[in-house]
Amino acid sequence: MPAAIPESLQEKIEERLRYYEDLGIRFFYRDRAPAPEALSARSASASPGGHSRAQESSLAKGKSKVERPVTGTPPVIPEVKPSGASLFEEVDKIHDDTLLKIREDIGDCTRCKLHKGRNKLVFGDGSPTAELVFVGEGPGADEDRQGLPFVGRAGKLLTQMIEAMGLQRKDVYICNVVKCRPPENRVPEPDEVHTCSPYLLRQIDVINPKVIVCLGAVAAKALLQTTKGITQFRGQWLEWRGRKLMATYHPAYLLRNPPAKADVWKDLQKVMAELGLSLPKKKSS
């Protein structure tokens, strides 16, 4: 009869399972142990120094695995930020990357000063295979409390925008440039954006959407690495690392400037056309 699991260990296991369930993972599979003959063959092929013959051959030739850095496609806009290392050059392409791995790599992040006032880290929400990704600036007070992106007043407006496109939130993926709330909802500072953006780039690479919509100037400048104002390229199709990108106004801006909703709706209609979504039919009077 197997020994009982200590209560402290059982609590840790239950906590870990709840964490995975929050990420949408509910099923686990255990790999079978290798067959004895496989172990024998593996042992026979190993050299006295602990390397297999294939490994020794590779080492003798001086070969080593080198991962190529992911580089971004220059945006079709002028005055790209000339100085400083590109975020894309700092993020190596990770084979078999997943949203779960990215979240685990972030962990209980303390890499920048934003963690000091954080209640909950806001990773992202939606479909991991979405064709459309919305990228915002950073969590607000409501998001910080719930641990989910765009759930406050601006989030409700974004949900209405998504539904007007004929989609639901579960059909798209929503995330932010920074994962922790800036104090008093201030604009994220350059060092905070630089620290957090590599995880955003990995999220986008894993999801591999057809279209990216940047909500506001912070998201657009972070991905495009530009100093130009959003009004100079809003509503234009830009190419970003082999994907189409559209920058438009942030829902929070629309709450302060309702007339700008018409411009955003024009932008979203272009996105709908790119994704093959039907435009809503006008009601006959």
pLDDT at 262 over 70: yes
Hunting for tokens 């172990």 — which residue is that? Answer: 39
Kindly state the average pLDDT of the residues 6-34: 58
> Can you tell me the distance from the alpha carbon of 273 to that of 139, in angstroms, rounded to the nearest whole number?
29
Kindly state the average pLDDT of the residues 35-53: 45
More confident of the two residues 237 and 31: 237
Token readout for 247 is 């920058």
pLDDT in the model for residue 112: 97
Tell me the pairing of strands 132-136 and 237-240.
unpaired
Percent of the chain with pLDDT over 90: 64
pLDDT in the model for residue 21: 55
pLDDT at 268 over 90: yes
pTM passes above 0.85: no
Q: 132: helix, coil or strand? A: strand
Q: 182: helix, coil or strand? A: coil
* Chain centroid to CA 249: 20
Q: Domain 106-275 belongs to what topology?
A: Uracil-DNA Glycosylase, subunit E (3.40.470)
Confidence of residue 10 (pLDDT cuts 50, 70, 90): confident
pLDDT in the model for residue 210: 98
> Can you tell me the distance from the alpha carbon of 50 to that of 61, in angstroms, rounded to the nearest whole number?
18
Token readout for 21 is 């369930």
More confident of the two residues 27 and 242: 242
Find out whether 112 and 195 touch, Cβ atoms under 8 Å.
yes
> Can you tell me the distance from the alpha carbon of 239 to that of 72, in angstroms, rounded to the nearest whole number?
10
Domain ranges of the chain: 106-275
φ, ψ of residue 264 in degrees (nearest 5): -65, -40
pLDDT at 248 over 80: yes
Token readout for 99 is 């949203």
